[in-house]
Amino acid sequence: MNYVEIFADENGVSHFRDVEIVLTRGEVAPPALPVALSEFMPATEVGFISIPSGWVGGWHQAPSDGFIFVLSGEVQIEVGDGESRRFPAGSVWLHRDRNGPGHNSSIVSKEDAKLVIVKFPD
């Protein structure tokens, strides 16, 4: 299992980094049988958003660190080093580019994008 991290380097330039999630066997809901699970992370807010097809966000920083899960539609993100990636339904990325110009995101699917945002504490 993996996710993509969007982060800013010491010069404020944003980049992508692929992160593998480490899973270990453990109990999540005893007495149910053990499962493979990651370490849990603290979160402060969870929200659902719908962004229309064709929307272009322009260059902006992440308002907070946190995960974004794509439920439907497809998001394209360009980072400061010039790389661009597409995130279809089922994709997950972690925003951590809170300095510098940030990233440019747009909805490239014909359908609206439905997302879940999980914000981390500052």
pTM summary value: 0.93
Strands 103-107 and 56-60: antiparallel
Using CA atoms, how far residue 75 sits from 38, 68, 69, 85, in Å, is 26, 11, 11, 8
pLDDT tens per residue, the chain (122 residues)?
999 999 999 999 999 999 999 999 999 999 999 999 999 999 999 999 999 999 999 999 999 999 999 999 999 999 999 999 999 999 999 999 999 999 999 999 999 999 999 999 98
Q: Contact, 23 vs 37, CB < 8 A?
A: yes
- pLDDT attached to residue 71: 99
Give domain limits for the chain: 2-119
If you ran DSSP here, which 8-state letter would residue 33 be given?
Answer: P
Tokens coding 84: 């661009």
Nearest to 13 by CA among 70, 61, 65, 68: 61
CATH 2.60.120.10 fits 2-119, yes or no: yes
